[in-house]
Amino acid sequence: MSETSTTSDNQKIWLDGEIIDQAEAKISVFDHGLLYGDGIFEGIRMYNGRVFRLEQHIKRLFSSAKSILLKLPWTEQEVIQATVDTIKANHLTEGYVRLVITRGVGGLGLNPYLCPKPSMFIIAANIQLYADESYENGLELITCATRRPTPASLSPQVKSLNYLNNVMAKIECIQAGVMEGIMLNEQGYVAECTGDNVFIVRDGVVHTPPVSDGSLDGITREVIFDLCKSEGIEIRETTMTRHDIFIADEAFLTGTAAEVIPFVKLDQREIGNGTPGKISKQLITAFRKLANSEGTPCV
């Protein structure tokens, strides 16, 4: 198993308008992000001195804020610049950026209107979610007993700090000896994984669950739609069950940190011939080429 993040001793953090040393980056114990998970986040990747799909990520961050009535004192352009400044301060050309916005300091009650202003911090570091051999050989997955929350309680399009549901599903995966797992919605249909979107390939056609089935409309998910179009591969949004994955010819996951990674087994059933498939490999190659050739300069 592999999930690593490395920081240096002189790591710099952007916190509420200032770039400071990691040791000085602190938030109050009365911050509602800590007390109640009242906040939002985004994870973004950088390649070859460029931040990949930065504008789309920040736009989604602001959409999450609007959905939970979190009024931000920064413009989208100011957050974009703060992100680039944080990367530059850490002298990074490759890696991962995490932006977190909390409701801010307030009382011990739930009332968010007693929090006078939100707080934001930005972390830029190196990350490796899966080992290199996992991209070559494919992951093994399980189906998690923990279900995705119903959209009636919180839209899956809000990247909120309420991630305990995903954490509990991740614990199931680790206890089963795997790194990822399929999460179903209330109706028993496939939604997504604990941190990634799900794709299968059947008879040359790529399928992924519609966001209405409980998945995040991921940025990398959107990239796959673009790449399928440019590569001449048919792609469809399809409600699916575990059975659809069992009988697929190939399968893969997408996510900002994960990028594009094949999986070759679910609940002890081999997918296809048990090795990463042709279309999965084609899309992995196309994604890496795209990610390393475009983006917002950060050096």
Q: Are both 216 and 163 inside the same structural domain?
A: yes
> What's the total number of domains in the chain?
2
The verdict on 168 and 79 lying in the same domain is no
3-state SS assignment for residue 239: coil
Residue 65 — pLDDT band, cuts 50, 70, 90?
A: very high
Q: What is the average pLDDT across 148-176?
A: 95
Enclosing domain of residue 95? 4-128
Q: Give pLDDT, residue 285.
A: 98
Which of 128, 149, 182 is where one domain is finished? 128
Per DSSP, 271 falls in state P
pLDDT confidence of residue 9 = 66
Q: Is the residue at 298 inside a domain?
A: no
Arithmetic mean of pLDDT, 149-168: 93
pLDDT of residue 143: 98
**Alpha helices, DSSP H, located in 74-218:** 76-89, 132-137, 164-175
Q: What's the confidence (pLDDT) of residue 44?
A: 98
Residues 162 and 285 in one domain: yes
Looking at the structure, tell me whether residues 75 and 44 fall in a common domain.
yes
Q: State which of 128, 144, 173 marks the end of a domain.
A: 128
Q: Is residue 221 situated within a structural domain? A: yes
The mean pLDDT value for 144-173 works out to 95
d(C-alpha 98, C-alpha 128), whole Å: 14
Query: Do residue 167 and residue 236 come from a single domain?
Result: yes
Q: What percent of the chain has pLDDT over 70?
A: 97
Residue 160 and residue 67 share a domain: no
The span from the CA of 217 to the CA of 211, in Å, is: 6
Which two three-digit tokens encode residue 281?
Answer: 């490999």
Q: Flag whether 286 is in a domain.
A: yes
Let me know whether 279 and 205 are in one domain: yes
- CATH number of the domain bearing residue 102: 3.30.470.10
Q: What is the pLDDT of residue 163?
A: 93
Task: Point out the domain boundary residue: 128, 148, 164.
Answer: 128
Mean pLDDT of 16-42: 97
In this structure, the answer to whether residues 173 and 148 fall within a common structural domain is yes
Q: How confident is the model at residue 2 (pLDDT cuts 50, 70, 90)?
A: low
pLDDT of residue 290 exceeding 60? yes
Rounded distance, CA 91 to CA 105, Å?
31
Note whether 103 and 174 are same-domain residues: no
Name the residues annotated as catalytic. 159
pLDDT in tens, 227-241: 999 999 999 999 999
How confident is residue 213, by pLDDT bands cut at 50, 70 and 90?
very high
- Residue 61 in this model has a pLDDT that exceeds 80: yes
Closest to 260 measured CA to CA, from 215, 198, 204: 198
> Is 8 a residue whose pLDDT tops 70?
no
